[in-house]
Chains A and B, each alone.
Chain A
Amino acid sequence: MDLFIAIFTGTIIAATPLIFAALGELVVEKSGVLNLGIEGMMLVGAAVAVWMHFAGFSMPVAILTATLAGSVASLIFAVLALTFATNQYAAGLALAILGSGISAYIGRGFGGAPIDGLSSISIPVISEIPIIGPLFFQYDPLVYLSYLMFACICWFLYRTKAGLVVRTVGESPESSHAIGFSVIRIRYMTTMFGGAMAGLGGAYLSIAYTPLWVENMTAGKGWIALALVVFATWRPTRIILGAWLFGAMTIFQLHGQALGFALPTEVLSAIPYLATIVVLVIISRNREILKLHFPASLAKPFKPSG
């Protein structure tokens, strides 16, 4: 039972940064914008959170600043891709590389310095329940926030008028423009929201998960988040499932190694990536459903005319 609890909680924690980043990117892509810069924004968030922590600010302030920093980083992309309507792939890649450089600069001097990480909150009474308590009620606050964000984003996208507008902009920016919505302004807002979520995911890595700053510490999690959105066929529930799957495989491969599975360690290390992609490809093979959820104008530059 202890082993099961260890695997379960490990999975939830490993999935959290992915959930933040991928949910943010989902909203961005739903509005028809493809921002490939998640990795860069996550790194900026991670570095800023650590910087603020060592500057003496409290955890909530550090997390909030990191979130804002992710958002500011996404503006670099937004100005290029939205205002100047450049190629979104190129602008996103530029942000990914730039973010890695900027974060390394911000994090100078904090490399490897340990932090008293974000402590988990133990809800009185229910966290004491055997099995249920350790399984569900002994995480840090950001884990709960990620599921709150999931609920909010589902509600926003599919149950509010504003969410409908975002999706419309993603389907047909021309029509949205024609009926009077400011496509560029809406896309700016979603892009900045995506940046904020990526920054939050990065902050989770550096001050709750690890907790310390290391150059390029995201280790490809931004790209996995990006892949999750695509393979989850732009549906929030599948993003959560995909993130759990990735988290579970990450933990399983470590257990596999320690139990002496007769597979090379390099292969075991690659399993999380393989398994996530294979499973998501299988569940997204229905082309009709894929078309239904795919934002038709994704990555197409839009220039308002007339």
Chain B
Amino acid sequence: MNRPITRRKFLATSGAFGVTLGSGLMTKAFAANDPLKVGVVYVSPISEIGWTKQHSLGIDAIKSDLGDKVSITAVENTFLPQDAERIFSEMASSGHQLIFGTSFSHGTPMQKVAPRFPGNAFEHCSGIVHFDNLGTFEAKYYEGTYVAGVAAAHMSKSAKIGFIGGFPIPDIVGPANALLLGAQSVNPDTTCNVIFLNSWFDPGKEKEATNTLVSQGCDVICSMTDTATGVQVAGEKGAWSIGYASDMSQFAPETHLTAFTLDWSSIYVQAARDVAAGTWKSDVRWQGLAEGVVKMSPYNEAIPTDVQASLQELQASISSGGIHPYAGEIQDQDGNVRVAADSVMPDPEIRGFNWFVKGIIGNMG
């Protein structure tokens, strides 16, 4: 039961389970000492690195925390909302008290299924809508890119950073801006060339995009997609790189500066404990370095030790709130002041970031 199973197999077995329920075994299935049933739906297969891998680590954390008091059902590779809706609904009706959706595209189906099962707890990553039994959680990626930007500026010779993103959406545009703002806090002349692939997962195009940025003089590449291609190709070209979601140093041990990794385990474990104890309440969480949801992976040895120390300090200051990546004054690409000096960008604006800061070379259309 703990092994990831295919969508089809899950639907078949849970259908059979439903029949069993109907034939009078219901009391047995819900006996008092039965383990907590947790369901999780992944958007892609669990691979070595990347977004889904980090979520599977959260599930692993639940297993090691609650041991045999929990039983997990994981369904991989479910992107389409209509498939996800069926699975969420099956999970809820087969007694899964806690159900996780791990992708933005799982939002609409969860919003449809959750009201039909008011007794079950639903948790949605990167969601924006929440109900009494539907909680949401999201990471402050920009805190990670800000620190990475500072590291990049210390290592860059050309003062040109390259950024590759999936789509021009606030969750990508914001971190790209923070990357450059971090770099400019070290060297105000730093610029950042931005390319959007218009795809989350197109390694061929990502490779060409990396080559393009390197040939235009960028010597640090940060790629916010679901592959390690950017890190790998930058390494082959002798450029520094910044990984995303997972530590990607294995793909370019010499040139991988650091990665801003995502660690959801505290959120997963807390939700499971609360549901087990009957104290779960739906919540909106938006967490970063302070809570350990965003972490910096070990810094490359090539970064001088005093710089590494200052990066550690910076992490601490961001955690304590002493430094805010989006503290003014911030100008946009045309030089208009968008965040005044001595003020900080308000949270709703951060979550809806739709403009580039000064020094970004690129266009979001």
Contacts and interface: CB of A to CB of B under 8 A. Distances in A.
Nearest to A269: B198
Interface stretch (A158-166, A205-213, A227-235): A205-213
A255 B363 contact: no
Contacts of A3: 215-216
Contact of A217 (B48, B196, B203, B361): B203
B208 interface: yes
Interface residues of A, number: 35
A207 to B, nearest CB: 12
Interface string A207-227: 001101010010100000000
A266 interface: yes
A258 B195 contact: yes
Contact of B168 (A205, A254, A265): A265
A14 B162 CA distance: 21
Interface residues of B, number: 39
B204 to A, nearest CB: 5
A223 to B, nearest CB: 15
A290 interface: no
B47 A112 contact: yes
Interface string B203-222: 11101110111111000000
A210 B365 contact: no
Contact of A257 (B44, B47, B194): B194
Contact of A255 (B47, B203, B216, B229): B216
A258 B362 contact: yes
Contact of B195 (A113, A219, A257): A257
B344 to A, nearest CB: 28
A111 interface: yes
B309 interface: no
B212 A264 contact: no
Interface of B: 44-45, 47-50, 162, 168, 193-196, 198-199, 201-205, 207-209, 211-216, 226-229, 232, 251, 361-365
25 contacts: A10-B212, A14-B204, A109-B45, A111-B44, A112-B49, A114-B48, A114-B232, A210-B204, A214-B201, A214-B227, A217-B202, A250-B208, A254-B205, A254-B212, A257-B194, A257-B362, A258-B212, A258-B213, A258-B361, A258-B362, A259-B193, A264-B364, A266-B365, A267-B365, A269-B198
